[in-house]
Amino acid sequence: MDPNPSDNTVSSPDQIEPQLSGESLEKGDDFVEACHPEAANVPSGGFIGSKVYHYPKLWLLRVSVIEGENIMPGHRGPEIVRFPEFITKVQVGNFHLSTAIAAPSTTRSFSNPSWNEDLSFIIDEPFVDSLQVSVEDRIGESNEIVVATGELLMSTIEKQVNQIPLTSSWFDLKSHSGKVGDKEEASTTFVPRIYLRILLAEVTMDNGDDIVVQGPADTKLWKPQIGVLEMQILSGSGLMPMQIKDAGHVTSAYCVAKYGQKWFRTCTVVDSLSPEWNEKYNWEVYDLCSVVTVGVFYKHWIIKNNIYIGDSDHCIGKVRIRLSTLETNRDYIQSYPMLMLCPSGVKKMGELLLSMRISSSSVTNMFLIYTMPLLPKMHYYSEPMNQDQLNNMTSQARRLLGLKMSREEPPLESKVVDSMFDNYLWSMRRSKANFFRLMSTISGLIAMYKFLKQIRDWKKPEQSILFLAIFLMLMMVIPNVIIPAILFYMVLMGLWNYRYRPRHTPSMNIRLSHVESAHPDELDEEFDTFPTTRHDSIVRMRYDRLRSVAGRLQTIIGNLASPIEKFQALLSWADPRASCLFLAFCLVAALVSYLVPIRVVITVLGLYLLRPPLFRNKLPPAALNFFRRIPSEEDTLF
């Protein structure tokens, strides 16, 4: 195979020795799609070489359906008097979305419906499809009559690369005649129109997302390159046997690496539980707040007439590495365990040995990137999208990407492309894991609260006296150095923790994910299809369990909202007597804080809170009793 310059290069296995230290790898000559049959043990007809897959240029097509004019209903029979239920459907290629039913209005005629709804699509270049718009009249649950249609060529839509305000325009539609009985009615005199606002902009999502495009489709919006990511996929070890052959249990594996606008696929090593790829890849880096993903897949071979034919590929394991965790100009040679969550629990599918290095020509640009916005300016000037629109865009981008890469040679199956992304549905295990993650993050605040409560309760008098003495010294002697002292303490803590910084990039955490403690039914629910295929009794049990969890969650949310509503009620005169008392207290407090130095106020407040239990009343304080009596919006809920 002739060597050609490309982004995909393969190094000879004799030139690279797997190391577990931080020493640099010896770099040899780079060859494109080089084959190593002696290392791969590949039989005739069973080899698939390396391949570079370029991310298609994706664009966001955002269609705002505002209103219509001169649109006649689909059925205007004299025996039926009804208000038409108009909906607008927009289709681009294989994707189509529809608006809700236009709400009736007393200020508008029935032929001038209003929607004011945004529909978002993901399209790729070149723009060969057209934007098709149809207005339908829904009669009943399943009967929809097309009353007007229109078509707009994508090539006529101007691309937006800056924050210029969008313009709205009227578009003429082709009227479809209605019916009166069995006779067709003549076409209307007035031409139906629809008022649309169309935005065609580049797709750039959050850099922590899987669908991130490091360089937008338009080169004018590209950020300056801050570095280069070099990765060498060396070898795998201890792979899980996936197929039984004459030689025993074997596995045919290849790797797929994705980052930014380029995906790489290694050669397929046939019938080996310890494959050696030894392939090197380079990516341009535009933002460190991004993730590189490497997946190992099993190639299912079927032998027909002594020729290896590929069947369906399965994911063996996946490794995700955030670039911000890598130090600049340092070689990382690390073996990552590939853990796979199965209905029976977590399994170790083998290990993957990777070598990574991120280099930068300008350290200043790498630090300045932390101060820049994640998205281009136009995303902040335009109206933000809701979560449903973002989820719909992500789904469209995945389907479009899978369709494009499945047409390459060799093809990358849609199932493989979808496996490279994370798709999390409802999971009791992940819900518990996120809850304990939240508790772990606030554990320091909880420990501090318990410590202060112990000091305030004088359970250990010597600690309380020492804390009170330190508090008085800070208030009376050096109150101006409290905040600088706290900041300086954080600097010292950070410098002290530098020696304990992680030397390796993090891998999958079984304990954090609560995989070991997950109930078998919870794992079965997590691997269930959507919609469910389980028996009605199992679905009923899981639904009742979900209702129980959701009930506790809504109680917690209500308890968090009530104090805020009570504070707002003090100023909105929901309780006139409480508002009078609160305003009088604020007036007195304002005068006291103006006349008395703030140092004295804080000292008196601290002495009052830290007073010994002998001088306390076991009854709740008056301020707490007053606040508990304030009404909240909970009283108006059903």
Q: What are phi and psi of 50, to 5 degrees?
A: -75, 160
Q: What strand order describes the sheet that includes 291-298?
A: 51-54, 262-265, 253-259, 291-298, 314-322
- In Å, what is the CA distance from 395 to each residue of 101, 421, 613? 24, 11, 61
88 contacts 134 by C-beta, under 8 angstroms: yes
Q: Please determine whether the domains at 8-55+213-382 and 58-202 fall in the same fold group of CATH.
A: yes
Q: Distance between CA 219 and CA 161 in Å, rounded?
A: 10
Round to whole Å and give the CA distance between 275 and 98: 49
Q: Six-digit token pair at 240? A: 């899980």
> Token pair of 465, please?
């006296």
How far does CA 277 lie from the centroid of its chain?
A: 31
Q: How many helices (H) and strands (E) are present in the chain, helices listed first? A: 15, 25
Question: Could you state, in order of their start, the residue ranges of all structural domains in the chain?
Answer: 8-55+213-382, 58-202, 536-636
- State the pLDDT confidence band at 9, using cuts at 50, 70 and 90: very low
Say which CATH superfamily domain 58-202 falls into.
C2 domain (2.60.40.150)
Output the furthest CA–CA distance in the chain (Å, rounded): 98
Assigned architecture for domain 8-55+213-382? Sandwich (2.60)
The pLDDT tens digits of the residues spanning 527-579 come to 777 788 888 888 888 888 888 888 888 888 888 888 888 888 888 888 888 88
Identify whether the C-beta of residue 417 lies closer than 8 Å to the C-beta of residue 405: yes
User: What's the pLDDT tens digit per position in 137-182?
Assistant: 888 777 788 888 888 888 788 777 665 556 688 888 888 755 433 4
* Distance, CA of 140 to CA of 160 (rounded, Å): 40
Q: What's the pLDDT tens digit per position in 26-37?
A: 333 343 344 444
End-to-end CA, the chain: 74
User: How does residue 38 score in pLDDT terms, banded at 50, 70 and 90?
Assistant: very low
Which pLDDT score is estimated for 89? 92
Residue 71 has pLDDT above 80, yes or no: yes
What tokens does 543 get?
């639904």
Which residue, 326, 231, 330, is CA-closest to 280?
A: 231
Give φ, ψ of 386 to 5 degrees.
-85, 175
Q: Please state the length of the chain.
A: 638
Q: Decide: 139 and 75 in contact? Cβ < 8 Å.
A: yes
Structure-token pair, residue 388: 């449903």
Percent of the chain at pLDDT > 70 equals 79
Return all residues near 613 (Cβ < 8 A) that are at least 6 apart: 457, 458
Q: What 3-state class would DSSP assign to 71? A: coil
Burial class (CB in 10 A: 0-12, 13-18, 19+), 397: buried
Ramachandran sector of residue 93 (left: φ over 0; alpha: ψ -120 to 50; beta: rest): left
Cα(136)–Cα(134) distance, rounded to whole angstroms? 6
Give strand pairing partners of 359. Answer: 228
pLDDT digits (tens, 9 = 90+) for 262-296: 889 998 888 888 889 999 999 988 888 888 999 99
pTM assigned to the model: 0.71
| Concatenated DSSP letters of 195-233 | EEEEEEEE----TTSTT--SS-SSGGGPPPP-EEEEEEE
- Confidence check: pLDDT of 1 > 50: no
CA 192, CA 88: separation in Å to the nearest integer? 13
| CB distance 146 to 98 below 8 Å | no
